Amino acid sequence: MGQDFVEETRTLVVTQHGAKIVSTRTLVPDQVILIQCRRTRREADARIVGQIREDSEGNYYGIELLDLDVNLWGIEFPPVAESDLAVGRVLLECPRCHGQEVTYLDVFAMEVLLAEERLSRRCPRCKDATLWGRAAPRAVEEALPGTGPRADQQVQPPRSDRRHARVNLKIDVCILHPEHGEEVTVTENVSRGGFRFKSAKQYRKGSMIEFALPYSPAGGNIFAAAQIVYAERLPREGMTAYGVSYISSRKVPSRT
């Protein structure tokens, strides 16, 4: 600390204006570091927001880019309004030009991606429709265990007090909780407003989480904020069923 150093590290999560990184160094809040993205060769100054946790791999920090006009990661992020309509989000890549974009998925696009592992999208650089797949983990790396995606669909009629119809869609999801750490599990159902999952862990109702849906151990995972709003003990299974409500990106600041 207080000395110049060079370290090759990796991002675990990226946002338009920041990231979550792991480092063997001890860094302090408000410390300014220079970040270079190996894929784009672009550089930008970043501020250490704070330490998230520590394990055998190193220290995990949230960083914030100081120049908001720099596209350090070379990833296109869609308008905020689109994120509020999403069931899931994923980092996709054009097979022709290798351009990468954060893509917000509705239920039907999610099913196509899980079944075919490709989505037909118009590429703004190629000026043509191409079959986009998950981005290679060189841009967003994940080191979490998990299983491959799978899906069973059945539309569930909305209750009178429910804003969005739910779809019984089993999708791998990664949960990040400040007390319970990381967990990869499977959704029971999803909607535009949230999702339901089961866990042996005891999450507190009202607690904040981050989630990646759909989740892939190969990478390309985009995390977003949500809140545990419902909990139901299932004694016979030794589990608890949880209801998660998405938090509008308009209501919370971007997190790294």
- Residues 6 or more apart whose Cβ sits within 8 Å of residue 114: 149, 150, 151, 171, 214
In a domain, 222, yes or no: yes
Neighbours of 104 (CB within 10 A): 21
173 in Cβ contact with 213 (< 8 Å): yes
Q: Do 163 and 242 fall within a single domain?
A: yes
Q: Do 161 and 229 fall within a single domain?
A: yes
Last residue of a domain, one of 105, 134, 163: 134
In a domain, 189, yes or no: yes
Q: First and final CA of the chain: distance in angstroms? A: 22
- The DSSP output letter for 40 is T
Q: Is the preceding omega at residue 214 within 30 degrees of 0, hence cis?
A: yes
Tell me the average pLDDT across 59-76. 84
In a domain, 253, yes or no: no
The residue type found at 156 is Q
Q: Do 117 and 159 fall within a single domain?
A: no
pLDDT grade for 79, boundaries at 50, 70 and 90: low
The residue ranking higher by pLDDT, 136 or 187, is: 187
Identify the pLDDT of residue 198: 95
Domain span holding position 26: 10-65
Question: Is pLDDT at 15 greater than 80 in this prediction?
Answer: no
pLDDT grade for 190, boundaries at 50, 70 and 90: confident
Give the domain CATH number at 233: 2.40.10.220
In a domain, 107, yes or no: yes
Tell me the average pLDDT across 229-253. 81
Q: Do 80 and 60 fall within a single domain?
A: no
89 in Cβ contact with 222 (< 8 Å): yes
189 in Cβ contact with 169 (< 8 Å): yes
Closest alpha carbon to 249 in 230, 228, 229, 223: 223
Q: Do 128 and 97 fall within a single domain?
A: yes
Tell me the average pLDDT across 95-107. 84
Q: Do 46 and 93 fall within a single domain?
A: no
Neighbours of 170 (CB within 10 A): 17
What percent of the chain clears pLDDT 90, i.e. is strictly above it?
A: 18
Identify the pLDDT of residue 3: 63
135 in Cβ contact with 220 (< 8 Å): yes
In a domain, 140, yes or no: no
Q: Do 206 and 233 fall within a single domain?
A: yes
Question: Is pLDDT at 80 greater than 70 in this prediction?
Answer: no
Q: Do 175 and 105 fall within a single domain?
A: no
Identify the pLDDT of residue 248: 65
pLDDT of 23-58, one tens digit each? 888 888 888 889 888 888 889 998 888 887 788 888
Q: Do 59 and 87 fall within a single domain?
A: no
234, two tokens:
């299932």
Q: Do 181 and 229 fall within a single domain?
A: yes
Maximum CA pair distance of the chain? 61
Tell me the average pLDDT across 238-255. 70
Q: Do 97 and 124 fall within a single domain?
A: yes
Place of tokens 């990381």: 182
- Count: domains in the chain: 3
In a domain, 3, yes or no: no
Q: Do 55 and 114 fall within a single domain?
A: no
In a domain, 4, yes or no: no
Tell me the average pLDDT across 134-160. 41
In a domain, 5, yes or no: no
Write phi, then psi, for 93 (nearest 5 degrees).
Answer: -135, 135
186 in Cβ contact with 177 (< 8 Å): no
